Copies of this chain bind each other. A is one copy, B any other.
């Protein structure tokens, strides 16, 4: 599991005085970044190989400006060419939002999903990408 600290920005509040709901997708994306980096070292765009297929976000509590948000990110399931991320955002002691996102390992030239190769699975397994120490095969 990876942990990312997000500092809410003034420009991310809305007229209601809390963080606008649309900002959550940016934060969760940012928190998936350590795992993107395993897929694409340096996030070099010529090697980029992931594409989002589905995003689910549950808002559990209102989020305010004055307090860091901590996001935990793990791979919940690794398919042959797909990845399901499970994430949770906390502010103070409260869980404020949860996310489940499906991404696909993708060949942008052929415009088709491509299998996640073994060396990548190994690198993911050696990282903190899985919440539990079980291997994903």
Contact = CB atoms under 8 A, between A and B. Distances in A.
B45 A15 contact: yes
Contacts of A10: 14-15, 20, 29-30, 33, 36, 43
B9 A26 contact: yes
A56 B56 contact: yes
Interface residues of A, number: 38
Interface stretch (A47-55, A116-124, A128-136): A47-55
A87 to B, nearest CB: 14
Interface string A1-35: 00000010111011111101111111001100100
A43 B11 CA distance: 12
Interface in A36-90: 36, 42-43, 45, 48, 51-59, 62, 65-66
A11 to B, nearest CB: 5
As for how many copies of this chain the complex holds, the number is 4
Given A11-B14, A30-B10, A53 B58 contact: yes
Contacts of A17: 15, 45
A25 B21 contact: yes
A21 to B, nearest CB: 4
B11 A26 contact: yes
Contact of A11 (B29, B56, B65): B29
Given A54-B58, A55-B59, 11 more contacts: A9-B30, A10-B15, A10-B30, A11-B23, A14-B15, A15-B15, A15-B17, A15-B45, A15-B65, A16-B108, A17-B45
